[in-house]
Structure 1
Amino acid sequence: MLMRLASIFLALLSASFTAHGQSAYFPEKHEWQSKQAEQLGFNKSALNDAVSFAQSNEYSGSRDLRIAIFDGFKREPFHEILGPTKKRGGPAGMILKDGYIAAQWGDLERVDMTFSVTKSFLSTLAGLAQDQGLIYSVNDKVANYVWDDTFRGEHNQKITWHSLLNQSSDWSGELFGIKDWADRPPQEGGIDDWKYRVLNAPDTVMEYNDVRVNVLAYSLLQVFRQPLPQVLKTQIMDKIGASSTWRWFGYEDAWVTIDGLKMKSVTGGGHSGGGVFINTLDQARFGLLVLNNGRWKNEQIISKQWLDSAIEPSKANASYGYMWWLNKGPRKWDEVEDSDMFYAAGFGGNFIVVDRKNNMVIVT
């Protein structure tokens, strides 16, 4: 239902847009310029309709996200909340055109959970690792970089960074107290069926699974040898002028010792708690960085080559790249024609939509 609402919102927004432009504007820290809708090529009345739609179609789940989480994932056996949560605010969002604010609504500075939007931040850190030579190739086996028991066994030792990034690894095991088969189990069968299933060869079947995403985060921690929130802060968020209010959490017991120092391994989502907690403005800055092919002002922060590879349809699911959803394949939005559009998406109606054709970023 949320995906359907998102597609209607984007269809309304597309109908309001009539012109193209060039992006040369990057907002300074603590400030962001706006322009009138007509200056940016929008039909003001139609743009207002799109914003009104976003405001009046709030996620229907409880604002107490502990309740929403338990209700949304009640089919999962042994499900617990293992990391921080936060009660959410009301609808909030921004529409950027050529870097300028065309429209906004709600409390843009309120920090909220974003759930699986976190995955797109995690994917970007994998790109940094490759850009810096910490990962030679995404086609390398992760076991060559992480030599503990995480990738032990005939199946797990075949897994590459590529298959972890597009969620087709079918990694099997337990990480920080959660078993892979207990995360979003199939509609059919029971515990024995899920536990003793036949594993799919990597790169053949895409399965949305936070335990395996957390394995990616754990593996990147081993590669960077410093906490991922610290990497994200110093190498990305500080450079794009983000605030100091965002946080990235892991589970309470997800401590790892590296080089004699205890570090927290963060999560790639929030349905057991944790993940990225962030405000709308900081998400929009991240989206603007991606819109501009990894460049902020005169600095190439993340390579264009990585971002291009991140939005390539995967063999296992043409609607999914490296933890970015694509507007193509089986999950293409019926109302939105642009198949080059891509987006981060999280439980509860969290989206960062990147529209390179029209030089736009939409955050809800």
Structure 2
Amino acid sequence: MLFFLCPTEAQNTYFPEPHALWEEKSPSSFNIDKVALQEVVDYAKANEYSGSRDLRIAILKGFAREPFHEILGPTKKRGGPAGLILKDGYIIAKWGDTKRVDMTFSVTKSFLSTVAGLAIDNGLITDETDLVKDYVWDGTFDGDHNSKITWQHLLQQNSDWSGELWGGKDWADRPPKEGHLDDWKNRTLNDPGTVMEYNDVRVNVLAYSLLQVWRKPLPQILKDHLMDKIGASTTWRWFGYDKAWTTVDGIQMQSVTGGGHSGGGIFISAEDMARFGLLFLNDGTWQGQPIISSDWIEKAITPSKPNPNYGYMWWLNQKGTRHWENLSETIYYAAGFGGNFIVIDKAHNIVVVTRWLEPQKIESFMEKLAKAAF
């Protein structure tokens, strides 16, 4: 088992200026083995995600067993492996085209949960344990089951919301590999808060519900309240499905997705992902300016009861089925299809971003980094 030091003081962290060149430092300035760190980079480059670079093809193949699955939103051909490693905010390693904008799939979920946190910080939602039906009354949360769902259930993916949204049926999203599909379709619903199930339809219900609360498009909220404040580029975009439009206050608005397995989601560069990760590393503060409350971040990385490895749309390195045995249990991360990751290592004041790393290689990548750096 590896042993870990206390995190570097936040005031020693470097924050890149908006649209400026990101300052780099030699690994040796942090007593990190430069040769060993290069081996970590070489490992990422040598273990590219095996799916097609034409992500439309990769998506259709990856989710071929879902009934009625189809591409509903925009996709984009991807680039090659890319990423950054930050120490105290400085770039100590990078590879590939870190400015290229690519799909980021379920990394989007961590951005979406942050928009929920901003809603609570701004008093639009009193508490995430509130019933969503008290905020969204258009029928989305009607019925004996759906009426019991709280914001927290949606954030932790344990709501078992039942219904259809934007052409997607909840029961058709990632169905079990065994048993007859009709058994799954007609199953007994789990009480909200008891069983975690990864399900993009229900994530999109959260995005739709937050749109009703903010009454403005969520990409605009993310831009104004967060991305502009951390100096992100103007290149990132957040898409919904082509037909995911609704009327709010007489204005047509698109409801965005929390992932990309039917297209859509956030399209973003590795450098903008790293800025987002650096914000979380520093408890929601950027250059002394609070952007998202530390209270929210603490809640977001608290294990849920049904799944100790999952918080509010962040994966947690806690004891459980996704535990990285030889790494700090303070680590948490955003993860998306195709090997997109933002890893926050609070114990060492490190942020890691990977694009198109074979997903099952992330644990060994992080272990190699730990051996090189610590």
TM range (shorter): over 0.9
Match of 2:17 among 28, 32, 45: 28
Do the aligned residues in 1 keep the contact of 2:5 with 2:347 (CA within 8 Å)? Answer: no
Q: 1:38 to 1:256 in 2, by over 3 A?
A: same
Query: Which residue in 1 is equivalent to 2:222?
Result: 232
Amino acid at match of 1:28: E
Instruction: Give how far 1:189 is off.
Output: 2.3
Distance 1:344 1:41 in 2: 28
Do the aligned residues in 2 keep the contact of 1:287 with 1:353 (CA within 8 Å)? Answer: yes
Do the aligned residues in 2 keep the contact of 1:20 with 1:41 (CA within 8 Å)? Answer: no
Counterpart check, 1:291 vs 2:284: no
After superposition, give the CA deviation of every residue in 1:141-191 in whole Å (9 maximum; x if it has no partner).
Answer: 000000001011100000000100000000000001110000000112233
Do the aligned residues in 2 keep the contact of 1:116 with 1:345 (CA within 8 Å)? Answer: yes
Instruction: Give how far 1:25 is off.
Output: 1.2
TM-score scaled by length of structure 2: 0.91
Match of 1:123 among 107, 113, 121: 113
Match of 1:312 among 290, 295, 302: 302
Do the aligned residues in 1 keep the contact of 2:129 with 2:152 (CA within 8 Å)? Answer: yes
Do the aligned residues in 2 keep the contact of 1:18 with 1:42 (CA within 8 Å)? Answer: no
Gaps of 5+ in 1: 1-10
Counterpart check, 1:174 vs 2:164: yes
Query: Which residue in 2 is equivalent to 1:4?
Result: none
Q: Over aligned residues, Cα RMSD in angstroms?
A: 1.6
Counterpart check, 1:249 vs 2:266: no
Alignment of 1:5-44 (within 5 A): 21-22=8-9, 23-30=12-19, 31-44=21-34
Alignment of 1:101-250 (within 5 A): 101-250=91-240
Distance 2:313 2:263 in 1: 19
Gaps of 5+ in 2: 355-374
Alignment of 1:76-91 (within 5 A): 76-91=66-81
Distance 2:136 2:72 in 1: 24
Do the aligned residues in 1 keep the contact of 2:5 with 2:348 (CA within 8 Å)? Answer: no
Distance 1:43 1:196 in 2: 56
Query: Which residue in 1 is equivalent to 2:260?
Result: 270
Match of 2:335 among 320, 337, 345: 345
Q: 1:334 to 1:296 in 2, by over 3 A?
A: closer
Query: Which residue in 2 is equivalent to 1:71?
Result: 61
Identity of aligned residues (%): 66
Match of 2:312 among 322, 327, 337: 322
Distance 2:151 2:8 in 1: 37
Amino acid at match of 1:278: I
Instruction: Give how far 1:19 is off.
Output: 9.7
Distance 2:212 2:118 in 1: 14
Amino acid at match of 1:198: T
After superposition, give the CA deviation of every residue in 1:232-285 in whole Å (9 maximum; x if it has no partner).
Answer: 011100000000000000000000100000000000000000000000000000
Do the aligned residues in 2 keep the contact of 1:130 with 1:137 (CA within 8 Å)? Answer: yes
Instruction: Give how far 1:195 is off.
Output: 1.5
Instruction: Give how far 1:345 is off.
Output: 0.1
Amino acid at match of 2:271: L
For residue 316 of structure 1, give the secondary structure of its aligned residue in structure 2: coil
Q: 1:18 to 1:43 in 2, by over 3 A?
A: farther
Q: 1:334 to 1:24 in 2, by over 3 A?
A: closer
Q: 1:19 to 1:174 in 2, by over 3 A?
A: closer
TM-score scaled by length of structure 1: 0.94
Distance 1:301 1:189 in 2: 47
Counterpart check, 1:58 vs 2:45: no
For residue 253 of structure 1, give the secondary structure of its aligned residue in structure 2: strand
Distance 1:119 1:169 in 2: 15
Amino acid at match of 2:280: V
Instruction: Give how far 1:335 is off.
Output: 4.6
Query: Which residue in 2 is equivalent to 1:259?
Result: 249
Instruction: Give how far 1:120 is off.
Output: 0.1
Q: 1:153 to 1:20 in 2, by over 3 A?
A: closer
Pairs aligned (count): 351
For residue 38 of structure 1, give the secondary structure of its aligned residue in structure 2: helix
For residue 220 of structure 1, give the secondary structure of its aligned residue in structure 2: helix
For residue 140 of structure 2, give the secondary structure of its aligned residue in structure 1: helix
Instruction: Give how far 1:41 is off.
Output: 2.7
Amino acid at match of 1:24: T
